[in-house]
Structure 1
Amino acid sequence: MKFTTPVSILLAFPFLALADVEFTSPAPGSTVHGGDVLTAVWKESGEPPKLLELTDYDLFLCAGGASIEYSEELSLLIENGSFERGNSVSFQVKPETGAVYTNAYFLKMVSRGLNATVINYSQRFSLSDMTGTFSERVQHGLRLLPNATTEHGELKKRQVAAAATAAALYTVPYPAQSVGLTKYAPMAKHPGTTITAKSAPPQFPTSAYTIARTFLPIPTWQTTLTAPQTYSTTNIENPATPAPHPSDDMKKYLKRWTDSA
């Protein structure tokens, strides 16, 4: 499953499509032992953009329900992975990352190319021998899942839920985003056609801060995604007649070296 936009962004805002990466492993409903090495495998989905158009990716381990607000990125498994190295990657899942729950886990891949950033999700799978816990947010999402869902039904549910809540992700003030490994920034503002301002007031209120007097903890987020541009630009040819080339350039140049004495 994939969410995509023409120039960058998470969860298809405002466009939604299926394309590029299709996970084939871990298999739907499979179980992997916590602490073991897990291999993720994917293939070309048959829709644009093609894998050859993508350069690198980040791979996350996620858990939770079928909607964004009740799921979380638990761990950044691979950062800046290269598609040139093939269509698979192996990693170790630490047992303390989460809890034991049937079909609670899935993979999320954020892929980047020259002209696009896309997001794909794997099918759900289980991890056994896990020693950690889930947040209340994830537990609530898991409780909302039906007891039995088909593979395509689960994909469709997550698609619809993601599309319905994508816009809200970018309206939450940046300092207030404290859950998960990803933060969301609003779209860059489109410059106006005229300059009317006499001053440059801040566009957003200042954020609270605390002066560090000791070493700060490791940040709780690792990726920031920016909402896609909803405007477009066009170029036109300048219709003005070109100015004529200067005349007598060489004569003026030589004259400057003339001995005036």
Structure 2
Amino acid sequence: MQTRLRRGIDQWSAVFLFLSTLISRVFADVQFLTPQAGVAYSAATAMTVTWQDSGTVPTFADLSTASLKLCGMSDSSTINCFSFLFQTQALSGFGGTYAATIPIAQAANGQYFLQMTSIIAAGGYVINYSDRFNLTGMTGTTEYVYIDNTDGPVRQYSPATTPTSSDLFLVSYPSQDGWTMKYAPMQPQPGTTVTASTASRQYPTSAISAIFKTNTMQPYAVTTTTLSWGYSWTSVINEASPQPDPSANGGSYEANQKKKKRWDD
């Protein structure tokens, strides 16, 4: 029995381990390719930073400008970004690569990561992080905390929460592919009669917009805003007189008159 129980626990542990490998922070709109996790880079030469569009919302087409910073951890949970590598630039102008000059005098040798803050053209922003890497040849005195895990911090996504025009609700839901936020029409209300004899879809089914082909730190979801009701209703009191209890109209009898049928046998 103990052997069977241990085998079952081992199987579930293997399943949990497999699922945990599907969790990482790289699946986002901006996916860093370099610098690589745990690799040591010399601050004396320009560091090649490369990234790509992972294909999910918001895509590069949704982003207007971006800024890239060098960051470290002041403690185990506090991010400290202390130097702009580039600021408020259009991502389309880089072609997914940038030769970053490291400010060697601003910190000591240690573990760092990159932070890219992108402004969404329709409103809002998204912040993505690279893996943690090591820098050598730094001449500063400020030291940052070493984190045993080489994964960078979790991305921060803050889309616009309000539509800019009511016309957005008129665009069919499947046609809103790649939008930061999707918009649904007003919820219909049932009529007074039912005339349909067969069921049919009011709108076409939604297409799949995100397939997890790489590891991801957190589930991905798109927020949908539904147009508020454009009508109102009133409630009235039911003024019909209540009907008498069954015992008062001959439909029942008193409890002391009840007896089991077999007693009459």
* TM-score category (smaller protein): 0.3 to 0.5
TM-score normalised by the chain length of structure 1: 0.46
Report which of the two structures shows the higher radius of gyration computed on alpha carbons.
2
TM-score normalised by the chain length of structure 2: 0.46
